Amino acid sequence: MTLDDIAACVAPHGLMVMGHSANRVLIGTDAHWWDVFTQSPEYLNKVTDPVDTWSKRILGGIARATGATAHFPSDGPPYAPFIAWALDTGRFWPSPTGMMVHDRAGLMISIRSALEFTEEFEPVPAGTHPCTTCHARPCVSACPVGALSADAPYDVPACKAYLDTPAGQSCMTGGCLARRACPVSQAFARPAAQSAFHMKAFVG
């Protein structure tokens, strides 16, 4: 099993290999995932936690077919250390907002599973942190309530309070302004309907 083989297995489901280290491969949503997901029984039948349920069905099946063990962010407690696993790949880094940034997805990161194999993969050279060449850093000033910072915890109450106002509907319908401001995110297309879906789930 090679990384190319894994990429070929997940691609028809709107997924991609976001990075790997040793024998662990992180799988996340690609730019066309929404088109695939919205045709799924989980979405159409409005099941509870549709994204997690879909992820476990699809990636659990791929894990069984490839002899891997699948780990999911929703499993826990205890929860698997997905942030540490991501940073170990050399394709994710801390961003000025405190969120992770990815070399291809920017701030539009949605890791759906980590597939763990018995064999080890060849290491790849670490990528380039995209924030080091982004001098404007529009993500820093994009949040209207300053809820995101590299120096302080994410201010969830301030974020949710803003989302409950008329002004906050831009975030609710189009997605987090800080994520959207990232130049790398802008090159990684995500439909507004997908962002609205995630924001509605976030608000609860």
Return the domain boundaries, the chain: 3-203
The pTM score is: 0.93
**On the CB side of 167, how many CA atoms lie within 13 Å of its CA?**
8
Whole-angstrom distance between the N-terminal and C-terminal Cα of the chain? 40
The pLDDT tens digits of the residues spanning 123-182 come to 877 788 999 999 999 999 999 999 999 889 999 999 999 999 999 999 999 999 999 999
What is the C-alpha separation between 103 and 110, in angstroms, rounded?
13
- Evaluate whether 60 touches 9 at the Cβ level (below 8 Å): no
Going by C-alpha positions, the residue among 51, 59, 75, 49 that lies closest to residue 25 is 59
pLDDT by 10s per residue, the chain, length 204: 899 999 999 999 999 999 999 899 999 999 899 999 999 999 999 999 999 999 999 999 999 999 999 999 999 999 999 999 999 999 999 999 999 999 999 999 999 999 999 999 988 777 889 999 999 999 999 999 999 998 899 999 999 999 999 999 999 999 999 999 999 999 997 899 999 999 999 988
> Distances in Å between the alpha carbon of 156 and those of 17, 149, 159, 203?
29, 12, 5, 10
